[in-house]
Amino acid sequence: MAYLNANIPATYAQVRREYLYDLKEHHGEAEDCILFGIASISGSPILFHAIMENGAIFYRLPISAFIQRSFDISQVPRMRLDELVLWNCFSYYPSITTFDILASQTGKYYGKDKKWHHGHYLFTVDWAHPESNIVDTEHSEIPHEHKCAHIMALENGNYAAQPNNRIIWSIPSFTVRDEVPFDWKVQTSEWNVENSRTWRTEDSDKFFYGIEEIKDDKV
């Protein structure tokens, strides 16, 4: 698990040029780039690092700064950052995974505008707390607070980062039920198999040690 910065699958994209000029000029223009990394800063959305064709690198741009390589910028609708990304980062410790079952698959997310936005899967950002000697002030490991962010390339040319509870994936050979589980509940349980008073291992050096049950004596 990385601290602050992490590699992502190289993604050939375009950057809206006004983001290279502090949003002050060159609106409506774009230039090619490669997205190669992210920064995960608590209290901020996922921020992306990009290298340009002139060799310059621009750090920490939001996902709204980028459109897909094959699109004409004049045809890509502008969407607010909070329409593309639902949550800020959950810690300074991101993990990047490309899940095989989702690779190259399509999906749709339910936006703040109460509309479905279709796209295909790129990779996933998730968060955790690194180790017990650092005070945990974040929400990354609280069951009902934790979210991951699936990065999607939308059909309209934008990119988005959305959590599980906003996306319906399409795997034609398996996802055959046409329903949206709006009645499911948030997971609040914490699972642990070692906090029971009902068993313990035998006190020996045996490789295949025994396990005995303990009767809970009530005083």
Would the pLDDT of 217 be above 70?
A: no
Residue 218, helix vs strand vs coil? coil
Distance (Å, whole) CA 41 – CA 81: 16
Q: How much is the mean pLDDT over the chain?
A: 93
Report the chain's C-alpha Rg in angstroms.
22
In whole angstroms, how far apart are CA 44 and each of 8, 51, 132, 218?
18, 21, 24, 51
pLDDT at 160 over 80: yes
For residue 63, pLDDT beyond 60 = yes
Sign of the dihedral defined by the CA atoms of residues 9, 81, 47, 102, in that order: negative
**To which residue do tokens 């962010």 refer?**
149
Q: Burial-class residue 198 by CB neighbours within 10 Å (0-12, 13-18, 19+).
A: exposed
- pLDDT-derived band of residue 164, with 50, 70 and 90 as boundaries? very high
* Residue 204 · residue 186 · CB < 8 Å: no
Quickly count: other Cβ atoms within 10 Å of residue 12's Cβ. 11
Extract long-range pairs of 130-134: CB within 8 Å, 24+ residues apart: 130/1, 130/3, 130/93
pLDDT at 199 (0 to 100): 85
pLDDT at 84: 98
**Distance (Å) of CA 122 to CA 20, 100, 211:** 24, 10, 46
In this predicted structure, the answer to whether residue 32 has a pLDDT above a threshold of 70 is: yes
- Say if CB 148 and CB 126 are below 8 A apart: yes
- Please give the pLDDT value at position 188: 85
Closest CA to 155 of 206, 115, 189, 203: 115
Query: Do 19 and 48 meet the contact criterion of CB atoms below 8 Å apart?
Result: no
Residue 219 reports pLDDT greater than 60: no
Burial of residue 157 (CB within 10 Å: 0-12, 13-18, 19+) is: buried
Both tokens of 47, joined, read: 């921020």
Decide if 59 contacts 49 (C-beta within 8 A): yes
- Stated pTM of the model: 0.90
